[in-house]
Structure 1
Amino acid sequence: MDLHRRGLVFWHNAALITFGLVAIGIMWTVMSAGFSSSEVMKDVIEDAVVDSSEALQVVGKMTGRGIPDANQVTVTATPLTTTANGIINTGTENISVTYRIIKDGSYTITQENIYAGSLYGKTYNSVGEALEEAKKQGLIRINPLTDTEKPDTTSAFFYWIIDTDGNKYMQSGEIVNMVIVYSDRDRPATGEYMKIEVSEPLGTLLSLERNVPNVSSSILDFGGKVKKDT
């Protein structure tokens, strides 16, 4: 089977609804405990978006961990699934993630490739659990949920929420969470514009644009819509 992305094919509506109902049953958290799928992913069907120009879609909500007193976002998590009738290799040799943010409406920070790899071979029930394992495996150096030191680099990694075969290839029926840990310099703040692009050698897999919500609580909702290119 060709391990690269094949022709983009829409899922049948019935299959997408069935898949969404399965996703609703997932237990995952932004913090190490306390947030269930019913709280974070309850709008998974309504917010799932298929874009014919991209091979990944957001399924559910992009969420984040905020520090209200500092007006900073330390980590975000975005559940993704594939829209292609094929396979996506999540290895670092194939995937790159670019992060851009307009700070204070006056200057842009761009990190060309922040992707550190994926946690495959098992599923994780929470972002907190995945962050612990990512640190053990060297995908991140600082865990923003538990460490007092601030990260000096911005890093992204994938982990599986639904996994059908235990390898690093993402395919139909599977869901991964894209976690981004932000360095102190790159941390988003209220009202700032951010753009995240996931790419492979064949082209863009996902283009995600968000305005940062008000950092007024520790758990933040960035919404569940993919912004299409104009």
Structure 2
Amino acid sequence: MRPRSRSRKTRRGVIGIESAIVMIAFVIVAAALAFVVLNMGFSTTQKAKTAISSSVTEASSALEIAGKVTGFGDIAHSQLNATVVPLKVAGGGDAVSLDPTLTDIKYYSNSVRYDNIFGVGCALGSSGNIINASGAVAIAKIGNACINHDPLTNLGDNQYPNSTKAMIYWDVNKNNNNILDQGEHANLIIVYKNGDQPKQLDNIKAEVIVPTGSALTVERQVPAITTTTVDLG
């Protein structure tokens, strides 16, 4: 009878050790899973913070219109030869690069659609007024290959650029570069080739797509063209 009693005690001891091992294994697995879950939570939180920070940066880097949009009217043909949009950085926003190699300008109207009309040589730097800015490009047309004719200095002369182009020049450029900073003012000029000129009641739309920050969309309807300077609002 005594040997049987020892066998039962031995079996009970083995079962207790096995149970302890199983419990320890469960604890280790649970700890590992908890670590993975916590790590994923921290990673998700970090990604969310990064996304929020990026969104804030995108919103704060936007351009805005700095005044009235103006058209250069050709009364004889009831059309616009050019459109001018004053630009500045939105209040509290970051500097915006307007370098032609980094910035695209799309243009749409009732009859045409262009994915990018802003090319190398079309950032003009500083100039006192629109006529001088566009004229400077016309004089240096071979060198910078932006436009081959300036329709602004002689409105209605029936000489137009060979392509519709966007140009940017600065009224105020503190650093003499292609980056628009707070306190600086630039102008977007869209010059139209023959056949692309918007006419009365046409809808025109331009999108300035910068490397960082949200794009600026400018949309206007052309009123009756009775003067050489047309207020587009």
Specify the alignment match of 1:177 in structure 2.
Answer: 187
Gap runs ≥5 in structure 1: 10-51, 103-107, 224-230
| Residues in 2 aligned to 1:6 and 1:80: alpha-carbon distance in whole angstroms | 22
| Deviation of the 1:145 alpha carbon | 2.2
User: CA RMSD for the aligned pairs?
Assistant: 2.2
The structure carrying a bigger strand percent of its residues is: 1
- Superimposed CA distance per residue, residues 84-104 of structure 1 (whole angstroms, 9 cap, x where no aligned partner): 6322221122111111001xx
Alignment-mate amino acid for residue 80 of structure 2? V
Alignment-mate amino acid for residue 63 of structure 1? T
Gap runs ≥5 in structure 2: 1-53
Equivalent pairs counted in the alignment come to 170
| Residues in 1 aligned to 2:135 and 2:71: alpha-carbon distance in whole angstroms | 17
| Deviation of the 1:200 alpha carbon | 2.6
Q: Which stretch shifts more, 84-93 or 192-201? A: 84-93
Q: Whose Rg is larger?
A: 2
**1:198 correspondence with 2:208:** yes
- Superimposed CA distance per residue, residues 80-132 of structure 1 (whole angstroms, 9 cap, x where no aligned partner): 00116322221122111111001xxxxx4101100123112xx3111000001
**1:118 correspondence with 2:128:** no
| Residues in 2 aligned to 1:166 and 1:203: alpha-carbon distance in whole angstroms | 22
Structure 1 runs of 4+ aligned residues shifted over 6 Å read none
| Residues in 1 aligned to 2:60 and 2:73: alpha-carbon distance in whole angstroms | 32
The structure carrying a bigger helix percent of its residues is: 2
Specify the alignment match of 2:130 in structure 1.
Answer: 127
Instruction: Describe how 1:74-89 pairs up with structure 2 within 5 A.
Output: 74-83=81-90, 85-89=93-97
Tell me the SS of whatever aligns to 2:201: coil
How has the CA–CA distance of structure 1 residues 70 and 162 changed in structure 2, closer, same or farther, with 3 Å as cutoff?
same
Alignment-mate amino acid for residue 191 of structure 1? L
| Residues in 2 aligned to 1:201 and 1:167: alpha-carbon distance in whole angstroms | 16
